[in-house]
Amino acid sequence: MFKNKVIRYSTIAMFIAVLAYFVIENFTKSGNDDLIAANPEQYNAKILEERAAKDEQFKTADDSPIADKESFHGLHYFKPNLKYRIKANISPYTSEDKELVIKYTDGTTEKYEKYGYANFTIDGRAQKLLLLKNESVISVLFRDETTGKETYGGGRYLDYPVSEIKNNVIVLDFNKAYNPYCVYQPTYACPVPPAENTLTAAIYAGEVTETSAHE
């Protein structure tokens, strides 16, 4: 999710590769949802493995947004919580105005396609998020009631390959919600979530700010 597309897609590819390993190694044989529900400790362990892999990538990769890698000791997160792994039904976007211009933090813009709305319930309240498609990637750009408090004020992201969507259903795993690179390096430009993608619930899952982690 960065204006530099080479870095943006290499980073998304890294997330998807880790996700693919996670699924293939643990959940494809018996069915994802049933197996995860039966093995929450295993799910939590794999989430922590993914986070450790991302820390290593941030600490060693040439395209890492971390300027001072020597003092980098890892990102900060809420504890994994299966409550925030949510199956959402998608209402495909069928109107003709599918093109959406998304603003970036440096004032530039980029065109995305309105793919559809992910509809789900959390804490007893109905929610929906506009899914945006850019080439073969579905982007979920969102804010929630933790935004600007425990989490980054500009919002957080989730990314999925289009192939992850089956029968107009997507699993939104907010335990994987991440901050854009501009949080760590102001020279990056990152997309701003659409105003409508502001949830009326607190998503206590995924990445938090360093300040919040040390409070």
Mean pLDDT of all residues belonging to the chain = 87
pTM of the model: 0.85
pLDDT at residue 211, as a whole number:
80
pLDDT at residue 32, as a whole number:
67
pLDDT at residue 30, as a whole number:
36
Decide: 152 and 183 in contact? Cβ < 8 Å: yes
* Range 189-195 average pLDDT: 96
Decide: 37 and 72 in contact? Cβ < 8 Å: no
Q: pLDDT digit string (tens) for 76-135?
A: 999 999 999 999 999 999 999 999 999 999 999 999 999 999 999 999 999 999 999 999
Q: Could you tell me how far CA 195 lies from the centroid of its own chain?
A: 17
Give the least confident one: 31-40, 56-65, 140-149, 176-185. Answer: 31-40
**What are the extents of the domains in the chain?**
5-213
Given pLDDT bands bounded at 50, 70 and 90, which one contains residue 213?
A: low
* Range 19-40 average pLDDT: 55
First to last CA, the chain: 28
pLDDT at residue 5, as a whole number:
45
Q: What Rg value do the Cα atoms of the chain yield, rounded?
A: 17
Q: How far apart are CA 90 and CA 94, in angstroms?
A: 12
* Range 29-44 average pLDDT: 73
Given pLDDT bands bounded at 50, 70 and 90, which one contains residue 36?
A: confident
Q: How far apart are CA 39 and CA 26, in angstroms?
A: 10
Report CA-CA distances (Å) from 103 to 25, 109, 152, 195: 38, 4, 17, 11
| pLDDT of 170 higher than 60 | yes
Given pLDDT bands bounded at 50, 70 and 90, which one contains residue 35?
A: confident
For residues 30-49, one letter each, b for 16 or more C-beta atoms within 10 angstroms of the residue's C-beta and e for the rest, the string is eeeeeebeeeeeebeebbee
pLDDT at residue 129, as a whole number:
98
DSSP β-ladder status, 207-208 and 169-173: unpaired
5-26 and 40-60 helices, crossing angle to 10°: 150
Dihedral pair phi/psi, residue 176, rounded to 5°: -100, 5
